[in-house]
Amino acid sequence: MTATNLSSLLKDPSLLETRAYINGAWVEGTAQLDVDNPARGDIIAQVADLSREQVASAIDAAYVAQKEWAQWTGKERANVLRKWFDLMMANQDDLGTIMTAEQGKPLAEAKGEVAYGASFIEFFAEEAKRIYGETIPGHMRDKRIMVMKQPIGVAASITPWNFPNAMITRKAAPALAAGCAFVGRPASETPLSALALAVLADRAGIPAGVFNILPSSNASEIGKEFCENQKVRKLTFTGSTGVGRILLAQAAHNVMKCSMELGGNAPFIVFDDADVDAAVEGAIICKFRNNGQTCVCANRIYVQSGVYDVFTEKLAARVAQMKVGDGLEAGSELGPLITPAAIQKVQNHIADAKAKGGEVVYAGDTPQSLGNFLAPTIIKGVTRDMAVATEETFGPLAPIFKFETEDEVIELANDTIFGLASYFYANDLSRVYKVAEALEYGIVGVNTGIISTENAPFGGVKQSGLGREGSHHGIEDYLELKYVCLTV
């Protein structure tokens, strides 16, 4: 496997930035952080590895810059955000290439994520002009009530490696539109996409200190700085529920406003009255987008007995056609997993299911290379006592459960601490309405396997999170309500 010469693949090599972006300046770290290509196993860049003190200095700069930024009109903020959007779309190919090199997803998917990430900036640029307050009739003849919305201040962001562009813009866009300043720590596996966003933010004219990208290998220390520094008023996190719990506990000290986009365990339900071919296509995109490494992937596939065999056969035939390979190579549909540990977790779930009676319907051939590749596996005869029923696999394993009745599958689907995304295929209108109401999830996809859009409020219930990202709801988490009681 050849080494990755990332710079030579870019139309604009200046997007390949390895220094941290603090207060409008490019800053070296006290150490360096290796970034590797999960498909080839080679180091593609060494990035600034910031100390906690350097992160604290970035927060100081953000705190100062935010005061001025909040004085800009909504339209002025909108204009500079729109320029950022335009620059992202103009550099979509390069941003996609950088993402594929460091995260592994196929280039077409990476470019799709860039457009998805940019859509949040476009959407919230518009919302910046529509942050409305209200007046309320007084409670006494000489009182008048006024409610205003003001930016919360400095927002700190911690994001995962699986969507290294969109998870940042899904937070930074509403934060900046609201008049907040943003300090973001990207996942150590994927800092390059975040730094490329900073290059374009700088070119768009976002003022120094308003948007800061702070790579660091010491996730827990930087998380503590974000939670303990009293100049930070908002913490927004996307990642596992386990880390979310740690951060919520740490944020309690300063009673910090938190948004949490955490783990999932999505059920994907196929009823007897479903369009089976449509359900198979929905299962493919829902299960294998980013090779199963998304929080909204189908983690459990429940198929009613009347269509169980035909669905299983069609899904296996369709998966067998999918090409596993380096995301930079044309035609690859399934890239590598992010780390060897991610592969081990999937293999553990497969072994556990087989040991408890599951039957492998399909197991693809894994490319023998230095990269973290694992071909897809489909298992049928899966039962609720298996690890895959309660744990998030986060990889290319499609476990198929059989069920008989609607009540049975609702109970099975809701039997989890998670509540992020859920999906079902059915055509009976009464069933669609009743099942959508009964599923205990923040998101329900009906006759679709993909629900990701900037127009909708994305988020979970139970232990999948707090708050919503996207839609007009998404900006509220970066605003404070102020009630003014006027005596006239």
Ligand X SMILES: O=C(O)[C@H](O)CS(=O)(=O)O
Ligand Y SMILES: NC(=O)C1=CN([C@@H]2O[C@H](COP(=O)(O)OP(=O)(O)OC[C@H]3O[C@@H](n4cnc5c(N)ncnc54)[C@H](OP(=O)(O)O)[C@@H]3O)[C@@H](O)[C@H]2O)C=CC1
Nearer Cβ to ligand X (159/229): 159
Q: In angstroms, how far is the first alpha carbon of the chain from the final one?
A: 77
Strand 20-22 relative to strand 25-27: parallel, antiparallel, unpaired? Answer: antiparallel
| Residues at the site binding ligand X, with contacts judged by CB under 6 A | 162-163, 166-167, 294-296, 452, 458
**Closest approach of ligand X to the CB of residue 176, in Å:** 19
**Closest approach of ligand X to the CB of residue 295, in Å:** 4
In angstroms, how far is CA 447 from the centroid of its own chain?
A: 22
**Closest approach of ligand Y to the CB of residue 284, in Å:** 20
Contacts for 79 with CB less than 8 Å, ≥ 6 apart: 125
Residue 445 backbone class (left: φ over 0; alpha: ψ -120 to 50; beta: rest): beta
Whether 261 is catalytic: yes
Nearer Cβ to ligand Y (91/393): 393
Contact at 8 Å (CB) between 456 and 470?
Answer: yes
Nearer Cβ to ligand X (292/381): 292
Nearest Cα to Cα of residue 296 among 282, 307, 276: 282
What does 187 interact with, of ligand Y, ligand X, none (CB < 5 to 8 A by kind)?
ligand Y
Q: Which H/E stretch holds residue 480?
A: strand 479-487
What does 125 interact with, of ligand X, ligand Y, none (CB < 5 to 8 A by kind)?
none
**Closest approach of ligand Y to the CB of residue 453, in Å:** 14
Contact at 8 Å (CB) between 14 and 199?
Answer: yes
**Closest approach of ligand Y to the CB of residue 431, in Å:** 28
Amino acid letter at 406? E
Which one of the listed residues 261, 392, 406, 469 is annotated catalytic?
261
What does 470 interact with, of ligand Y, ligand X, none (CB < 5 to 8 A by kind)?
none
User: DSSP readout, 348-413?
Assistant: HHHHHHHHTT-EEEEEPPPP-SSS-----EEEES--TTSHHHHS---SSEEEEEEE--HHHHHHHH
Nearer Cβ to ligand Y (109/406): 109
Contact at 8 Å (CB) between 274 and 307?
Answer: yes
Nearer Cβ to ligand X (20/337): 337
Nearer Cβ to ligand Y (159/312): 159
**Closest approach of ligand X to the CB of residue 105, in Å:** 11
What does 158 interact with, of ligand X, ligand Y, none (CB < 5 to 8 A by kind)?
ligand Y
What does 465 interact with, of ligand Y, ligand X, none (CB < 5 to 8 A by kind)?
ligand Y
Residue 189 CA to residue 27 CA, distance in Å, equals: 19
Contacts for 319 with CB less than 8 Å, ≥ 6 apart: 284, 288, 362, 364, 376, 378, 398
Question: Residue 97 forms beta bridges with which residues?
Answer: none
What does 452 interact with, of ligand X, ligand Y, none (CB < 5 to 8 A by kind)?
ligand X
| Residues at the site binding ligand Y, with contacts judged by CB under 6 A | 158-162, 187-189, 219-220, 223, 238-240, 243, 246-247, 261-264, 295, 392, 394, 420, 465
Nearer Cβ to ligand X (202/392): 392
**Closest approach of ligand Y to the CB of residue 153, in Å:** 20
Contact at 8 Å (CB) between 49 and 191?
Answer: no
Nearest Cα to Cα of residue 185 among 224, 152, 153, 151: 224
Residue 260 is classified by DSSP as E
What does 65 interact with, of ligand X, ligand Y, none (CB < 5 to 8 A by kind)?
none
Catalytic positions, written as ranges: 261
